[in-house]
Structure 1
Amino acid sequence: MGCEPPQHVAARVLEHSILRHASIPVAVHRLDECVARHRLPVSGRTMFSLQRFFIPEINGFKGLAVYIDSDMLVFDDVRDLIAHRAPGVAVSSAETPPGSGRKRQFSVMVIDCELARWKPQEIHQKAQSNYRDVMYELSFEPSKTVSLPYTWNSLERYEAGKTQLLHYTDMNLQPWVDARNPLLPVWMDALFAALDDGFVTMDEVAESTRRGWLRPGVLWQAKHREREVSRLPLHLKIAEAFYRAPHKPRYWARKVEQVRHGGAKLVGALNGGRVPRT
Protein backbone atom coordinates (compact mmCIF):
# COMPACT_ATOMS: atom_id res chain seq x y z
CA MET A 1 0.00 0.00 0.00
CA GLY A 2 1.42 3.35 -1.06
CA CYS A 3 1.15 5.48 2.05
CA GLU A 4 2.49 8.36 4.13
CA PRO A 5 2.02 9.16 7.85
CA PRO A 6 -0.89 11.65 7.45
CA GLN A 7 -2.87 8.86 5.74
CA HIS A 8 -2.63 6.61 8.81
CA VAL A 9 -6.35 6.36 9.63
CA ALA A 10 -7.37 6.21 5.97
CA ALA A 11 -4.86 3.39 5.45
CA ARG A 12 -6.15 1.46 8.47
CA VAL A 13 -9.74 1.82 7.27
CA LEU A 14 -8.68 0.56 3.84
CA GLU A 15 -6.80 -2.38 5.34
CA HIS A 16 -9.85 -3.33 7.38
CA SER A 17 -12.05 -3.18 4.27
CA ILE A 18 -9.63 -5.56 2.49
CA LEU A 19 -9.43 -8.07 5.32
CA ARG A 20 -13.15 -8.17 6.10
CA HIS A 21 -13.94 -9.24 2.52
CA ALA A 22 -10.99 -11.56 1.90
CA SER A 23 -11.46 -15.33 1.59
CA ILE A 24 -7.70 -15.97 1.55
CA PRO A 25 -4.91 -14.92 3.91
CA VAL A 26 -3.82 -11.37 3.12
CA ALA A 27 -0.84 -9.43 4.47
CA VAL A 28 -1.05 -5.67 3.98
CA HIS A 29 2.26 -3.78 4.05
CA ARG A 30 2.60 -0.01 4.13
CA LEU A 31 5.31 0.90 1.66
CA ASP A 32 6.46 3.96 3.60
CA GLU A 33 7.42 1.60 6.43
CA CYS A 34 8.94 -1.01 4.07
CA VAL A 35 11.05 1.59 2.27
CA ALA A 36 12.25 3.01 5.60
CA ARG A 37 13.29 -0.46 6.82
CA HIS A 38 15.25 -1.12 3.65
CA ARG A 39 16.97 2.29 3.75
CA LEU A 40 15.90 2.93 0.18
CA PRO A 41 15.72 6.52 -1.11
CA VAL A 42 12.24 7.57 -2.20
CA SER A 43 10.78 10.82 -3.44
CA GLY A 44 7.96 11.97 -5.68
CA ARG A 45 5.17 14.41 -6.28
CA THR A 46 3.46 12.77 -3.38
CA MET A 47 5.48 11.09 -0.67
CA PHE A 48 4.33 7.68 -1.85
CA SER A 49 4.24 8.18 -5.64
CA LEU A 50 7.37 6.19 -6.39
CA GLN A 51 7.19 3.69 -3.54
CA ARG A 52 5.39 1.14 -5.73
CA PHE A 53 8.50 0.53 -7.82
CA PHE A 54 10.30 -1.03 -4.85
CA ILE A 55 7.73 -3.85 -4.54
CA PRO A 56 9.54 -6.54 -6.61
CA GLU A 57 12.85 -5.82 -4.84
CA ILE A 58 11.24 -5.88 -1.39
CA ASN A 59 9.63 -9.24 -2.27
CA GLY A 60 12.93 -10.69 -3.43
CA PHE A 61 11.65 -10.79 -7.02
CA LYS A 62 9.35 -13.68 -6.16
CA GLY A 63 5.60 -14.27 -6.18
CA LEU A 64 2.65 -11.96 -6.82
CA ALA A 65 1.89 -8.63 -5.17
CA VAL A 66 -1.06 -6.28 -5.40
CA TYR A 67 -0.33 -2.57 -5.30
CA ILE A 68 -2.95 -0.06 -4.13
CA ASP A 69 -2.95 3.55 -2.94
CA SER A 70 -4.07 4.37 0.59
CA ASP A 71 -6.98 6.57 -0.60
CA MET A 72 -9.26 3.65 -1.42
CA LEU A 73 -11.92 1.32 -0.03
CA VAL A 74 -12.43 -2.34 -0.95
CA PHE A 75 -15.86 -3.98 -1.12
CA ASP A 76 -15.02 -7.41 -2.54
CA ASP A 77 -12.66 -10.37 -2.20
CA VAL A 78 -9.12 -9.61 -3.43
CA ARG A 79 -9.04 -13.20 -4.68
CA ASP A 80 -11.20 -11.96 -7.56
CA LEU A 81 -8.69 -9.21 -8.31
CA ILE A 82 -5.85 -11.72 -8.57
CA ALA A 83 -8.01 -14.01 -10.72
CA HIS A 84 -8.26 -11.26 -13.37
CA ARG A 85 -4.50 -10.84 -13.75
CA ALA A 86 -2.90 -11.81 -17.04
CA PRO A 87 -0.51 -14.76 -16.48
CA GLY A 88 2.95 -14.29 -17.93
CA VAL A 89 2.71 -10.49 -17.81
CA ALA A 90 4.66 -8.35 -15.34
CA VAL A 91 1.88 -5.82 -14.65
CA SER A 92 -1.89 -6.17 -14.89
CA SER A 93 -3.75 -2.88 -14.40
CA ALA A 94 -7.39 -1.80 -14.40
CA GLU A 95 -9.59 -0.42 -17.14
CA THR A 96 -10.86 3.14 -16.79
CA PRO A 97 -14.56 3.53 -15.97
CA PRO A 98 -16.61 3.79 -19.18
CA GLY A 99 -17.52 7.34 -20.11
CA SER A 100 -15.27 8.81 -17.42
CA GLY A 101 -12.78 10.41 -19.81
CA ARG A 102 -10.05 9.52 -17.30
CA LYS A 103 -6.60 8.34 -18.31
CA ARG A 104 -5.43 4.85 -17.44
CA GLN A 105 -3.96 4.59 -13.98
CA PHE A 106 -1.45 2.28 -12.35
CA SER A 107 -2.83 2.92 -8.86
CA VAL A 108 -4.15 -0.67 -8.76
CA MET A 109 -1.78 -3.31 -10.12
CA VAL A 110 -1.18 -7.02 -9.85
CA ILE A 111 2.59 -7.40 -10.16
CA ASP A 112 4.46 -10.57 -11.04
CA CYS A 113 7.59 -9.83 -9.02
CA GLU A 114 9.68 -12.40 -10.88
CA LEU A 115 8.96 -10.73 -14.22
CA ALA A 116 9.10 -7.13 -12.99
CA ARG A 117 12.87 -6.86 -12.61
CA TRP A 118 12.67 -3.20 -11.71
CA LYS A 119 15.63 -1.12 -10.60
CA PRO A 120 14.00 1.59 -8.46
CA GLN A 121 16.94 3.98 -8.54
CA GLU A 122 16.97 3.98 -12.35
CA ILE A 123 13.21 4.49 -12.45
CA HIS A 124 13.55 7.41 -10.05
CA GLN A 125 16.14 8.97 -12.34
CA LYS A 126 13.75 8.68 -15.29
CA ALA A 127 10.94 10.18 -13.23
CA GLN A 128 12.95 13.32 -12.54
CA SER A 129 13.00 14.19 -16.24
CA ASN A 130 9.76 12.56 -17.43
CA TYR A 131 7.43 11.97 -14.52
CA ARG A 132 4.28 11.51 -16.62
CA ASP A 133 5.80 8.75 -18.77
CA VAL A 134 6.92 6.85 -15.69
CA MET A 135 3.78 7.26 -13.60
CA TYR A 136 1.00 7.33 -16.21
CA GLU A 137 2.48 5.15 -18.95
CA LEU A 138 4.86 2.86 -17.03
CA SER A 139 7.07 3.45 -20.05
CA PHE A 140 10.03 1.49 -18.63
CA GLU A 141 7.97 -1.76 -18.44
CA PRO A 142 7.10 -3.37 -21.81
CA SER A 143 5.30 -6.34 -20.25
CA LYS A 144 1.99 -4.85 -19.14
CA THR A 145 -1.69 -5.20 -19.96
CA VAL A 146 -5.12 -3.95 -18.95
CA SER A 147 -6.97 -6.99 -17.66
CA LEU A 148 -8.58 -5.86 -14.39
CA PRO A 149 -12.18 -4.62 -14.62
CA TYR A 150 -12.75 -0.93 -13.90
CA THR A 151 -14.82 -1.91 -10.88
CA TRP A 152 -11.48 -2.71 -9.21
CA ASN A 153 -10.41 0.94 -9.59
CA SER A 154 -13.63 2.90 -9.63
CA LEU A 155 -12.60 6.54 -9.74
CA GLU A 156 -14.85 8.71 -7.56
CA ARG A 157 -17.77 6.44 -8.38
CA TYR A 158 -19.67 4.09 -6.08
CA GLU A 159 -22.43 1.71 -7.10
CA ALA A 160 -23.62 -0.52 -4.26
CA GLY A 161 -23.22 -4.19 -5.10
CA LYS A 162 -21.10 -3.41 -8.19
CA THR A 163 -18.11 -1.31 -7.11
CA GLN A 164 -15.31 -3.55 -5.87
CA LEU A 165 -12.79 -0.82 -5.13
CA LEU A 166 -13.58 2.86 -4.68
CA HIS A 167 -10.72 5.29 -5.34
CA TYR A 168 -10.89 8.81 -3.86
CA THR A 169 -8.56 10.39 -6.43
CA ASP A 170 -9.14 14.09 -5.67
CA MET A 171 -6.72 14.80 -2.82
CA ASN A 172 -8.45 18.08 -1.98
CA LEU A 173 -11.81 16.34 -1.53
CA GLN A 174 -10.88 13.11 0.18
CA PRO A 175 -13.54 12.57 2.88
CA TRP A 176 -11.10 12.53 5.80
CA VAL A 177 -9.86 16.04 4.83
CA ASP A 178 -12.95 17.62 3.25
CA ALA A 179 -16.58 17.07 4.22
CA ARG A 180 -17.86 18.20 0.80
CA ASN A 181 -17.07 14.89 -0.83
CA PRO A 182 -20.38 13.42 -2.08
CA LEU A 183 -19.15 9.93 -1.17
CA LEU A 184 -18.28 10.95 2.40
CA PRO A 185 -21.00 8.70 3.95
CA VAL A 186 -19.48 5.66 2.26
CA TRP A 187 -16.12 6.32 3.92
CA MET A 188 -17.71 7.12 7.27
CA ASP A 189 -19.53 3.76 7.18
CA ALA A 190 -16.19 2.05 6.56
CA LEU A 191 -14.62 3.95 9.47
CA PHE A 192 -17.50 2.96 11.77
CA ALA A 193 -17.06 -0.72 10.78
CA ALA A 194 -13.33 -0.54 11.53
CA LEU A 195 -14.05 1.08 14.91
CA ASP A 196 -16.74 -1.48 15.77
CA ASP A 197 -14.30 -4.32 15.07
CA GLY A 198 -11.55 -2.65 17.12
CA PHE A 199 -9.32 -2.46 14.06
CA VAL A 200 -9.15 1.34 14.40
CA THR A 201 -9.34 2.94 17.84
CA MET A 202 -10.79 6.25 18.93
CA ASP A 203 -7.33 7.12 20.24
CA GLU A 204 -5.94 6.80 16.71
CA VAL A 205 -8.68 9.05 15.36
CA ALA A 206 -8.10 11.58 18.15
CA GLU A 207 -4.33 11.60 17.62
CA SER A 208 -4.66 12.03 13.85
CA THR A 209 -7.12 14.87 14.44
CA ARG A 210 -4.70 16.53 16.88
CA ARG A 211 -1.93 16.31 14.29
CA GLY A 212 -4.16 17.86 11.65
CA TRP A 213 -4.19 14.69 9.54
CA LEU A 214 -7.99 14.48 9.75
CA ARG A 215 -10.49 17.29 9.38
CA PRO A 216 -11.86 18.50 12.76
CA GLY A 217 -15.31 16.92 12.40
CA VAL A 218 -14.19 13.31 11.90
CA LEU A 219 -13.66 12.65 15.61
CA TRP A 220 -17.12 13.95 16.53
CA GLN A 221 -18.72 11.93 13.74
CA ALA A 222 -16.86 8.83 14.90
CA LYS A 223 -17.98 9.27 18.50
CA HIS A 224 -21.61 9.84 17.53
CA ARG A 225 -21.64 7.40 14.57
CA GLU A 226 -22.90 10.27 12.42
CA ARG A 227 -22.30 9.87 8.69
CA GLU A 228 -23.75 13.28 7.68
CA VAL A 229 -21.79 16.49 8.33
CA SER A 230 -24.92 18.64 8.41
CA ARG A 231 -25.34 17.66 12.07
CA LEU A 232 -21.89 18.82 13.17
CA PRO A 233 -21.90 21.36 16.03
CA LEU A 234 -21.42 24.95 14.88
CA HIS A 235 -17.91 25.27 16.32
CA LEU A 236 -16.79 22.24 14.31
CA LYS A 237 -18.36 23.57 11.12
CA ILE A 238 -16.36 26.77 11.65
CA ALA A 239 -13.20 24.77 12.37
CA GLU A 240 -13.70 22.75 9.18
CA ALA A 241 -14.07 25.95 7.17
CA PHE A 242 -10.58 27.02 8.29
CA TYR A 243 -8.99 23.56 8.15
CA ARG A 244 -6.14 23.00 5.68
CA ALA A 245 -5.20 19.45 4.67
CA PRO A 246 -1.56 18.42 5.34
CA HIS A 247 -0.77 17.92 1.64
CA LYS A 248 -1.69 21.47 0.62
CA PRO A 249 1.53 23.24 1.70
CA ARG A 250 3.52 20.72 -0.38
CA TYR A 251 1.12 21.19 -3.30
CA TRP A 252 1.53 24.95 -3.39
CA ALA A 253 5.30 24.75 -2.86
CA ARG A 254 5.45 22.48 -5.91
CA LYS A 255 3.33 24.91 -7.95
CA VAL A 256 5.64 27.80 -7.01
CA GLU A 257 8.68 25.73 -8.02
CA GLN A 258 7.04 24.86 -11.37
CA VAL A 259 6.36 28.56 -12.03
CA ARG A 260 9.94 29.47 -11.10
CA HIS A 261 11.33 26.74 -13.32
CA GLY A 262 9.07 27.74 -16.22
CA GLY A 263 10.07 31.37 -15.82
CA ALA A 264 13.75 30.43 -15.78
CA LYS A 265 13.35 28.44 -19.01
CA LEU A 266 11.58 31.39 -20.67
CA VAL A 267 14.32 33.82 -19.63
CA GLY A 268 16.89 31.32 -20.87
CA ALA A 269 15.22 31.14 -24.26
CA LEU A 270 15.21 34.92 -24.50
CA ASN A 271 18.86 34.92 -23.41
CA GLY A 272 19.97 32.62 -26.19
CA GLY A 273 19.59 29.42 -24.21
CA ARG A 274 21.36 30.50 -21.01
CA VAL A 275 19.13 29.59 -18.06
CA PRO A 276 19.79 31.82 -15.04
CA ARG A 277 20.54 30.18 -11.69
CA THR A 278 17.64 30.15 -9.24
Structure 2
Amino acid sequence: MSEEIIKIFVGCDPNNCDLEQMMVLDYSVRKNTKHPIEITWMQLSHDRQSPWYSDETTQEGWRTEKWATPFSGFRWAIPELCHFEGRAIYMDADVIVLCDIAELWSHPMQNDAMVIAKGGKSAARLCTCVWDCEKAKSYLPPLKEIQDNPDGHKNLMRLLKEKPELVEPYQHSYNNIDGEDLPISEIKILHYSDMGTQFSHKYALPRLAKTNQKHWFDGKIMPHPRADLSELFDTYYQEAIDSGYQPENYMIEPYGDFSKATQINYQGNKVTRPSAQSSWLKSQIHKFKAKFKKSTFKLDG
Protein backbone atom coordinates (compact mmCIF):
# COMPACT_ATOMS: atom_id res chain seq x y z
CA MET A 1 0.00 0.00 0.00
CA SER A 2 2.81 2.44 0.83
CA GLU A 3 4.08 2.35 -2.77
CA GLU A 4 0.66 2.30 -4.43
CA ILE A 5 -0.38 5.56 -6.07
CA ILE A 6 -3.77 6.72 -4.85
CA LYS A 7 -5.67 7.98 -7.89
CA ILE A 8 -8.11 10.82 -7.26
CA PHE A 9 -10.40 12.26 -9.94
CA VAL A 10 -11.96 15.64 -9.12
CA GLY A 11 -14.91 17.23 -10.89
CA CYS A 12 -14.51 20.99 -11.29
CA ASP A 13 -15.55 23.98 -13.36
CA PRO A 14 -13.81 24.59 -16.74
CA ASN A 15 -13.76 28.40 -16.47
CA ASN A 16 -11.53 28.84 -13.41
CA CYS A 17 -14.38 29.48 -10.97
CA ASP A 18 -13.26 26.70 -8.60
CA LEU A 19 -9.56 27.53 -8.22
CA GLU A 20 -9.77 28.11 -4.46
CA GLN A 21 -11.64 24.85 -3.96
CA MET A 22 -9.08 22.98 -6.03
CA MET A 23 -6.18 24.45 -4.08
CA VAL A 24 -7.70 23.64 -0.68
CA LEU A 25 -8.65 20.11 -1.72
CA ASP A 26 -5.19 19.43 -3.15
CA TYR A 27 -3.46 20.80 -0.05
CA SER A 28 -5.76 19.00 2.39
CA VAL A 29 -5.20 15.62 0.74
CA ARG A 30 -1.42 15.95 0.73
CA LYS A 31 -1.26 17.46 4.23
CA ASN A 32 -2.88 14.42 5.80
CA THR A 33 -1.17 11.52 4.03
CA LYS A 34 2.30 10.20 3.30
CA HIS A 35 1.10 8.07 0.40
CA PRO A 36 1.80 9.07 -3.22
CA ILE A 37 -1.16 10.91 -4.74
CA GLU A 38 -2.18 11.47 -8.35
CA ILE A 39 -4.97 14.01 -8.92
CA THR A 40 -6.81 14.32 -12.24
CA TRP A 41 -8.89 17.49 -12.61
CA MET A 42 -11.95 16.71 -14.70
CA GLN A 43 -12.96 19.81 -16.68
CA LEU A 44 -14.86 20.31 -19.92
CA SER A 45 -12.49 20.68 -22.86
CA HIS A 46 -12.53 21.68 -26.53
CA ASP A 47 -9.68 19.23 -27.19
CA ARG A 48 -11.00 16.27 -29.16
CA GLN A 49 -8.31 14.07 -27.60
CA SER A 50 -9.47 14.88 -24.07
CA PRO A 51 -11.83 12.48 -22.26
CA TRP A 52 -13.74 15.61 -21.16
CA TYR A 53 -14.33 16.86 -24.72
CA SER A 54 -17.64 18.58 -25.40
CA ASP A 55 -18.94 20.59 -28.36
CA GLU A 56 -22.49 21.87 -28.04
CA THR A 57 -22.68 23.14 -31.62
CA THR A 58 -22.13 19.66 -33.06
CA GLN A 59 -23.47 17.76 -30.02
CA GLU A 60 -20.27 15.76 -29.85
CA GLY A 61 -18.67 14.54 -26.65
CA TRP A 62 -20.33 15.15 -23.31
CA ARG A 63 -23.95 16.35 -23.27
CA THR A 64 -24.19 18.57 -20.19
CA GLU A 65 -27.52 20.36 -20.56
CA LYS A 66 -29.29 18.40 -17.80
CA TRP A 67 -26.42 18.44 -15.30
CA ALA A 68 -26.63 20.37 -12.03
CA THR A 69 -22.88 21.13 -12.15
CA PRO A 70 -20.30 21.44 -14.96
CA PHE A 71 -19.04 17.94 -14.17
CA SER A 72 -21.99 15.86 -12.91
CA GLY A 73 -21.61 12.97 -15.35
CA PHE A 74 -17.82 12.71 -15.35
CA ARG A 75 -17.67 10.26 -12.43
CA TRP A 76 -18.99 7.47 -14.65
CA ALA A 77 -16.00 7.77 -16.98
CA ILE A 78 -13.43 6.91 -14.33
CA PRO A 79 -13.43 3.08 -14.49
CA GLU A 80 -12.90 3.05 -18.26
CA LEU A 81 -10.21 5.73 -18.05
CA CYS A 82 -8.44 3.48 -15.53
CA HIS A 83 -8.66 0.63 -18.08
CA PHE A 84 -11.06 -1.16 -15.71
CA GLU A 85 -8.19 -1.92 -13.37
CA GLY A 86 -7.64 -1.21 -9.68
CA ARG A 87 -9.33 1.45 -7.62
CA ALA A 88 -9.98 5.16 -8.12
CA ILE A 89 -11.47 7.85 -5.91
CA TYR A 90 -13.94 10.42 -7.22
CA MET A 91 -14.58 13.74 -5.45
CA ASP A 92 -16.41 16.95 -6.18
CA ALA A 93 -14.11 19.96 -5.87
CA ASP A 94 -15.89 21.36 -2.81
CA VAL A 95 -14.23 18.99 -0.36
CA ILE A 96 -11.74 19.25 2.51
CA VAL A 97 -9.99 16.00 3.41
CA LEU A 98 -9.32 15.84 7.15
CA CYS A 99 -8.07 12.24 7.39
CA ASP A 100 -5.46 10.11 5.67
CA ILE A 101 -7.08 9.48 2.28
CA ALA A 102 -5.56 5.99 2.41
CA GLU A 103 -8.31 5.09 4.90
CA LEU A 104 -10.96 5.58 2.24
CA TRP A 105 -8.80 4.12 -0.54
CA SER A 106 -8.42 0.83 1.36
CA HIS A 107 -12.01 0.62 2.62
CA PRO A 108 -13.32 -2.98 2.36
CA MET A 109 -15.70 -3.73 -0.48
CA GLN A 110 -17.96 -6.72 -0.14
CA ASN A 111 -19.86 -9.00 -2.50
CA ASP A 112 -20.81 -7.51 -5.88
CA ALA A 113 -20.39 -3.83 -5.03
CA MET A 114 -18.64 -1.76 -7.68
CA VAL A 115 -18.44 1.49 -5.72
CA ILE A 116 -17.99 2.54 -2.09
CA ALA A 117 -20.15 5.53 -1.26
CA LYS A 118 -22.48 7.20 1.18
CA GLY A 119 -25.88 5.66 0.77
CA GLY A 120 -28.18 2.72 1.19
CA LYS A 121 -31.41 1.37 -0.18
CA SER A 122 -33.07 4.78 -0.52
CA ALA A 123 -30.11 7.05 -1.27
CA ALA A 124 -26.82 7.22 -3.11
CA ARG A 125 -24.23 10.00 -2.92
CA LEU A 126 -21.32 9.49 -5.27
CA CYS A 127 -19.88 12.95 -4.61
CA THR A 128 -17.06 11.19 -2.75
CA CYS A 129 -16.70 7.56 -3.68
CA VAL A 130 -14.24 4.77 -4.46
CA TRP A 131 -14.58 2.79 -7.67
CA ASP A 132 -13.62 -0.83 -8.11
CA CYS A 133 -12.90 -0.27 -11.78
CA GLU A 134 -12.82 -3.95 -12.73
CA LYS A 135 -16.24 -4.68 -11.22
CA ALA A 136 -17.70 -1.55 -12.80
CA LYS A 137 -16.96 -2.92 -16.27
CA SER A 138 -19.86 -5.37 -15.91
CA TYR A 139 -22.39 -2.60 -15.29
CA LEU A 140 -21.34 0.57 -17.06
CA PRO A 141 -21.97 1.15 -20.78
CA PRO A 142 -19.08 2.25 -23.01
CA LEU A 143 -17.90 5.79 -22.32
CA LYS A 144 -19.04 7.00 -25.74
CA GLU A 145 -22.62 6.00 -24.92
CA ILE A 146 -22.51 7.83 -21.59
CA GLN A 147 -21.14 10.96 -23.24
CA ASP A 148 -23.69 11.02 -26.06
CA ASN A 149 -26.77 10.67 -23.84
CA PRO A 150 -28.06 13.82 -22.05
CA ASP A 151 -29.80 11.46 -19.61
CA GLY A 152 -26.72 9.28 -19.14
CA HIS A 153 -25.97 10.53 -15.63
CA LYS A 154 -29.57 10.16 -14.49
CA ASN A 155 -29.89 6.70 -16.02
CA LEU A 156 -26.80 5.41 -14.26
CA MET A 157 -27.95 6.80 -10.94
CA ARG A 158 -31.20 4.93 -11.56
CA LEU A 159 -29.13 1.77 -11.98
CA LEU A 160 -28.03 2.14 -8.36
CA LYS A 161 -31.67 2.48 -7.32
CA GLU A 162 -32.48 -0.78 -9.08
CA LYS A 163 -29.34 -2.54 -7.83
CA PRO A 164 -28.48 -1.11 -4.38
CA GLU A 165 -26.14 -4.05 -3.83
CA LEU A 166 -23.70 -2.31 -6.19
CA VAL A 167 -23.00 0.30 -3.51
CA GLU A 168 -20.87 -0.56 -0.48
CA PRO A 169 -21.81 2.00 2.18
CA TYR A 170 -19.17 3.67 4.32
CA GLN A 171 -19.50 5.67 7.53
CA HIS A 172 -21.08 9.04 6.85
CA SER A 173 -18.11 11.07 8.10
CA TYR A 174 -16.23 10.19 4.88
CA ASN A 175 -18.72 12.38 3.03
CA ASN A 176 -19.98 14.72 5.70
CA ILE A 177 -22.48 17.13 4.16
CA ASP A 178 -22.04 20.64 5.55
CA GLY A 179 -21.36 19.45 9.09
CA GLU A 180 -24.39 17.26 9.83
CA ASP A 181 -24.23 18.19 13.54
CA LEU A 182 -20.80 16.59 13.97
CA PRO A 183 -17.84 18.39 15.57
CA ILE A 184 -14.88 18.90 13.26
CA SER A 185 -12.90 16.29 15.22
CA GLU A 186 -15.33 13.60 14.02
CA ILE A 187 -15.40 14.62 10.35
CA LYS A 188 -13.09 12.71 8.04
CA ILE A 189 -14.03 14.36 4.73
CA LEU A 190 -16.08 17.55 4.72
CA HIS A 191 -18.22 18.17 1.65
CA TYR A 192 -19.46 21.76 1.81
CA SER A 193 -22.15 20.73 -0.59
CA ASP A 194 -24.68 23.58 -0.55
CA MET A 195 -23.67 25.50 -3.65
CA GLY A 196 -25.10 28.74 -2.27
CA THR A 197 -23.16 28.68 1.02
CA GLN A 198 -19.76 27.49 -0.18
CA PHE A 199 -16.83 28.95 1.76
CA SER A 200 -14.84 29.55 -1.42
CA HIS A 201 -17.29 32.19 -2.70
CA LYS A 202 -15.70 34.87 -0.50
CA TYR A 203 -12.47 34.42 -2.46
CA ALA A 204 -13.73 33.37 -5.89
CA LEU A 205 -16.45 35.95 -6.49
CA PRO A 206 -14.23 39.06 -6.00
CA ARG A 207 -11.52 37.45 -8.12
CA LEU A 208 -13.96 36.72 -10.93
CA ALA A 209 -15.50 40.20 -10.70
CA LYS A 210 -12.15 41.77 -11.54
CA THR A 211 -12.38 40.26 -15.03
CA ASN A 212 -16.17 40.68 -15.37
CA GLN A 213 -16.64 36.93 -15.12
CA LYS A 214 -19.63 35.26 -13.49
CA HIS A 215 -19.55 32.13 -11.37
CA TRP A 216 -21.20 29.04 -12.87
CA PHE A 217 -23.60 28.81 -9.91
CA ASP A 218 -26.53 31.11 -10.69
CA GLY A 219 -28.48 30.68 -7.47
CA LYS A 220 -28.60 32.79 -4.32
CA ILE A 221 -25.36 33.24 -2.31
CA MET A 222 -25.79 33.18 1.46
CA PRO A 223 -23.71 32.60 4.63
CA HIS A 224 -22.98 29.07 5.83
CA PRO A 225 -24.69 28.37 9.18
CA ARG A 226 -21.54 26.86 10.75
CA ALA A 227 -18.92 29.49 11.51
CA ASP A 228 -16.45 26.83 12.70
CA LEU A 229 -16.50 25.15 9.29
CA SER A 230 -16.04 28.48 7.55
CA GLU A 231 -13.02 29.12 9.78
CA LEU A 232 -11.72 25.65 8.96
CA PHE A 233 -11.77 26.45 5.24
CA ASP A 234 -10.03 29.78 5.86
CA THR A 235 -7.35 27.99 7.90
CA TYR A 236 -6.67 25.46 5.17
CA TYR A 237 -6.75 28.19 2.54
CA GLN A 238 -4.09 30.20 4.39
CA GLU A 239 -1.99 27.13 5.19
CA ALA A 240 -1.99 26.26 1.51
CA ILE A 241 -0.86 29.77 0.58
CA ASP A 242 1.86 29.67 3.24
CA SER A 243 3.02 26.31 1.86
CA GLY A 244 3.50 27.70 -1.64
CA TYR A 245 0.16 26.83 -3.18
CA GLN A 246 -1.63 29.49 -5.26
CA PRO A 247 -5.11 29.45 -6.83
CA GLU A 248 -3.55 30.66 -10.07
CA ASN A 249 -1.56 27.41 -10.28
CA TYR A 250 -4.80 25.63 -11.16
CA MET A 251 -5.82 27.96 -13.99
CA ILE A 252 -6.51 26.61 -17.46
CA GLU A 253 -7.58 28.21 -20.72
CA PRO A 254 -11.28 28.92 -20.04
CA TYR A 255 -13.71 26.65 -21.81
CA GLY A 256 -16.37 29.31 -22.31
CA ASP A 257 -20.15 28.93 -22.36
CA PHE A 258 -21.74 25.56 -21.75
CA SER A 259 -25.25 24.34 -20.98
CA LYS A 260 -26.38 23.01 -17.63
CA ALA A 261 -29.53 23.04 -15.52
CA THR A 262 -30.18 26.38 -13.82
CA GLN A 263 -29.89 26.64 -10.03
CA ILE A 264 -31.94 29.85 -9.67
CA ASN A 265 -34.44 28.03 -7.43
CA TYR A 266 -31.79 25.94 -5.69
CA GLN A 267 -32.93 24.88 -2.19
CA GLY A 268 -29.63 23.67 -0.72
CA ASN A 269 -29.99 20.89 1.83
CA LYS A 270 -31.67 20.23 5.16
CA VAL A 271 -28.41 20.87 7.04
CA THR A 272 -27.83 24.40 5.75
CA ARG A 273 -31.45 25.42 5.10
CA PRO A 274 -33.86 23.34 7.17
CA SER A 275 -36.79 25.75 6.76
CA ALA A 276 -36.38 25.94 2.98
CA GLN A 277 -36.09 22.17 2.80
CA SER A 278 -39.27 21.82 4.86
CA SER A 279 -41.19 24.05 2.44
CA TRP A 280 -39.71 22.23 -0.51
CA LEU A 281 -40.58 18.88 1.03
CA LYS A 282 -44.20 19.89 1.52
CA SER A 283 -44.35 20.88 -2.12
CA GLN A 284 -42.88 17.57 -3.19
CA ILE A 285 -45.31 15.60 -1.01
CA HIS A 286 -48.17 17.47 -2.64
CA LYS A 287 -46.88 16.57 -6.10
CA PHE A 288 -46.36 12.99 -4.98
CA LYS A 289 -49.92 12.59 -3.77
CA ALA A 290 -51.30 14.27 -6.89
CA LYS A 291 -49.54 11.91 -9.24
CA PHE A 292 -49.83 8.72 -7.13
CA LYS A 293 -46.17 7.99 -7.57
CA LYS A 294 -43.83 6.11 -5.32
CA SER A 295 -41.23 8.11 -3.38
CA THR A 296 -38.19 9.03 -5.42
CA PHE A 297 -34.67 7.71 -5.02
CA LYS A 298 -32.44 10.40 -3.54
CA LEU A 299 -29.37 11.18 -5.63
CA ASP A 300 -26.58 13.70 -5.56
CA GLY A 301 -25.98 16.01 -8.55
| TM-score category (smaller protein) | 0.5 to 0.7
67 and 34 in structure 1: CA distance in 2 versus 1, 3 angstrom threshold:
farther
Name the counterpart of 2:73. 50
Name the counterpart of 2:135. 115
Higher strand share: 2
- SS in structure 2 opposite 1:107? strand
Cα distance between partner residues in 1 of 2:196 and 2:260: 8
Name the counterpart of 1:22. 33
Where do 1:154-169 residues align within 5 Å?
154-157=176-179, 159-169=183-193
2:235 to 174, 183, 189: 189
RCO comparison, higher one (Cα < 8 Å, 6+): 2
Deviation at 1:35, TM superposition (A): 9.5
Deviation at 1:199, TM superposition (A): 1.9
Cα distance between partner residues in 1 of 2:84 and 2:45: 15
Name the counterpart of 2:7. none
Residues 99-139 of structure 1: CA distance to partner in whole angstroms, max 9, x if unpaired? xxx943111111011111232343456662882x5347635
- SS in structure 1 opposite 2:240? helix
* Structure 1: unaligned runs, 5 residues or longer: 97-101, 212-246, 255-278
- SS in structure 2 opposite 1:172? coil
Deviates more, 1:80-89 or 1:64-73: 80-89
One-letter code aligned to 2:199: P
Please say which structure displays the higher CA radius of gyration: 1
Cα distance between partner residues in 2 of 1:10 and 1:193: 13
Where do 1:33-182 residues align within 5 Å?
37-38=50-51, 40=53, 41-42=61-62, 43=64, 44-87=67-110, 89-95=113-119, 103-117=123-137, 118=140, 119-123=142-146, 128=151, 131=154, 134-135=156-157, 138-139=160-161, 144-157=166-179, 159-177=183-201, 178=221, 180-181=223-224, 182=226
Higher helix share: 1
* Structure 2: unaligned runs, 5 residues or longer: 1-9, 54-60, 202-220, 267-301
Deviation at 1:204, TM superposition (A): 6.0
Deviates more, 1:2-11 or 1:12-21: 2-11
- SS in structure 1 opposite 2:37? coil
Cα distance between partner residues in 1 of 2:145 and 2:136: 14
Cα distance between partner residues in 2 of 1:136 and 1:187: 34
Residues 19-78 of structure 1: CA distance to partner in whole angstroms, max 9, x if unpaired? 111131111111127895236422223110001111012111111101111011000001
Where do 1:212-251 residues align within 5 Å?
250-251=262-263
Residues 204-230 of structure 1: CA distance to partner in whole angstroms, max 9, x if unpaired? 69x99xx9xxxxxxxxxxxxxxxxxxx
Cα distance between partner residues in 1 of 2:105 and 2:236: 23
Deviation at 1:90, TM superposition (A): 1.3
Q: How well do the aligned residues superpose, as a CA RMSD in angstroms? A: 3.5
Deviates more, 1:29-38 or 1:64-73: 29-38
Is the CA contact (8 Å cut-off) linking 1:65 and 1:110 kept in structure 2?
A: yes
Whether 2:12 is the aligned partner of 1:3: answer yes
Is the CA contact (8 Å cut-off) linking 2:73 and 2:153 kept in structure 1?
A: no
Q: What is the TM-score when the length of structure 2 is the normalising length?
A: 0.59
User: What is the percentage of aligned positions where both structures have the same residue?
Assistant: 22
Q: What is the TM-score when the length of structure 1 is the normalising length?
A: 0.64
Aligned pairs, number = 209
Is the CA contact (8 Å cut-off) linking 2:43 and 2:52 kept in structure 1?
A: no
